[in-house]
């Protein structure tokens, strides 16, 4: 006799872990620039603000007046230099300019070679996401097999649960593939 609550708890835990892996992968795609200005590129950069590491998004507002220009408006004008330093230290490869009130970042157009490099980076991040999903599946499968071994669930219950687990895995990998396809299209768009 199957204890549905134990199996559903294990499956729900796997679903949650897979969802986090998909979300993390999608967030990591936002860090990769596509030639268009986006606050996602700098929002999480850490700024040394009075001795504390603070994300830029807590110190400033963002606007995109043109496709390739990002304007950062610090709430505290004294933090302009600190924000500039953080941008210069980052791997964005963009030099900030300020007029004492706001910081302007002008994104150059991406070369074909750079676009292809970024596509490779996106594919690596997608693969890392798929690995995280498969790890969540493996952990759930081990948990279910342990339950069967202890006599908590029958072998038929284990088989049904594994089929459900495969379905969850397939859905999570499919979400990563969709996000990858979208990001690749975005990167290769001129």
Q: What is the mean pLDDT of residues 24-45?
A: 79
The reported pLDDT for the residue numbered 3 is 55
Q: What is the pLDDT of residues 49-103, one digit of tens each?
A: 888 898 888 889 998 888 888 899 999 888 888 888 888 887 677 788 888 889 9
From the options 1.10.132.20, 3.40.50.1370, 3.40.190.90, 3.20.20.70, give the CATH code of 4-31+111-188: 1.10.132.20
pTM: 0.69
The reported pLDDT for the residue numbered 31 is 72
Q: Which residues of 7-17 are buried (b: 16+ CB within 10 A; e: fewer)?
A: beebbeebbeb
Domain 39-106: assigned CATH number: 3.30.1360.40
The reported pLDDT for the residue numbered 112 is 85
Burial (0-12, 13-18, 19+ Cβ within 10 Å), 179: buried
Q: What is the mean pLDDT of residues 17-35?
A: 86
């Amino acid at each position: 006799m199957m204890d549905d609550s134990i199996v559903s708890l294990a499956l729900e835990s796997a679903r949650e872990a897979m969802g986090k892996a998909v979300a993390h992968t999608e967030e990591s795609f936002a860090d990769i620039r596509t030639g268009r200005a986006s606050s996602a590129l700098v929002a999480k950069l850490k700024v040394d603000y009075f001795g504390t590491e603070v994300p830029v998004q807590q110190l400033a507002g963002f606007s995109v007046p043109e496709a390739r220009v990002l304007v950062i408006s610090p709430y505290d004008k004294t933090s302009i230099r600190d924000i500039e330093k953080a941008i210069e230290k980052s791997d964005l490869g963009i030099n900030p300019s300020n007029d004492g009130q706001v910081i302007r970042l002008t994104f150059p157009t991406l070369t074909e070679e750079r676009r292809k490099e970024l596509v490779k980076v996106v594919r690596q991040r997608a693969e890392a996401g798929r690995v995280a999903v498969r790890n969540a599946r493996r952990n759930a499968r081990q948990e279910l097999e342990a339950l069967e071994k202890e006599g908590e669930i029958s072998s038929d219950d284990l088989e049904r649960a594994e089929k459900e687990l495969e379905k969850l895995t397939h859905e999570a990998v499919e979400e990563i593939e969709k996000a990858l396809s979208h990001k690749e299209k975005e990167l290769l768009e001129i």
